Amino acid sequence: MKIFLYTRKVDMDHFEYINQWVEFLIRRGCQLFVQENFLSINLSYSPWREYFQVVSENNQIEDVDLAVGIGGDGTLLELSRFIGNYRIPIIGVNTGRLGFLSVVQLHQAKESFEWILNQEFEIEHRSFISIAQSDNEEAIFPNALNEVVIVGYPHNTMIAVHAYVNDRFLATYWADGLMLATPTGSTAYSLSCGGPIVSPDTNSFIITPIAPHNLNVRPLIIPMSQKVTFIPESREGKFMMNIDGQGHLIHSGARIVMERAQNELRLVKLKGSDFFDTIRNKMGWGFDQRN
């Protein structure tokens, strides 16, 4: 099996575990690929250094069987962008804090890889949002796995965003910002802004206002088959569009059109892994200290 390892930077106290399952994978005949900074920063002293193949472009991993993100959910988001349109299954080994996407704990990784090598896993499909600016065809944006957020720039002041669903007017949101989130993103920023938790197998978008000033608007769930358009306006004339945390400057009156992307994230789901277990264990969902 060909496996691509991706990370930002790993703490030194994690290397005992990483070296254990790297050794396990090599002894099982796996070919390991790493990006150059991973090798130079994290694995420069690894006894298995000579077994790693260094890649710098994503076309060097197009025939990889599995991509592994080592870190938190942010690392997995970066990995999904690096993979692009290649249909490579990915799994996250969590060295961060919460980790809704990176569900494998570091000390359990060796056992999890054994399941994968024995084909004891399923593939869970997670949808992306494709983003285009209809009044500027030259603008190219990456797909969003979690959410697309429009806020004011350079100051985070109240803005107006006209929202349309399938070109039908929905409402004008007077708020600090407005976002469109996926079910994957429902446990991220959208949740912090009062949005609902949505099961990842639900084909839905969530329109979530950020600190709305018109109190008669609330988060709205719509089918993912719908096209959503945001048109922001403000006195400053500029806005920041954050795509999974990456900022892109847009102007007042820009028409941001968002749809379900054609490609999907292929997330490895191991036996015993369940979305409802995750929100219960990581969020304390339904926990009552009286019981």
Cα 259 to Cα 104: distance, rounded to the nearest angstrom: 30
**How far is it, in rounded angstroms, from Cα 196 to Cα 220?**
9
What is the phi/psi pair of residue 17, to 5°?
-70, -45
Distance between CA 137 and CA 26 in Å, rounded?
47
* Two tokens, residue 275: 């979305």
Q: Which of 13, 65, 73, 176 is catalytic?
A: 73
Distance CA 101, CA 281 (A): 14
Whole-number Å distance between alpha carbons of 84 and 102: 18
Q: Is 65 a catalytic residue?
A: no
Distance CA 264, CA 87 (A): 8
Q: What is the 3-state secondary structure of 91-151? A: EEEECCCCCCCCCEEHHHHHHHHHHHHCCCEEEEEEEEEEEEECCCCCCCCCCECCEEEEE
109-115: long-range contacts, CB 8 A cutoff, minimum separation 24: 109/17, 109/18, 109/21, 110/17, 110/20, 110/21, 110/24, 112/270, 113/21, 113/24, 113/25, 114/24, 115/270, 115/271
What is the Cα Rg of the chain in Å? 21
Q: Measured between alpha carbons, how far is 281 from 187 in angstroms, rounded to an integer? A: 13
Q: Annotated catalytic sites, by residue?
A: 73
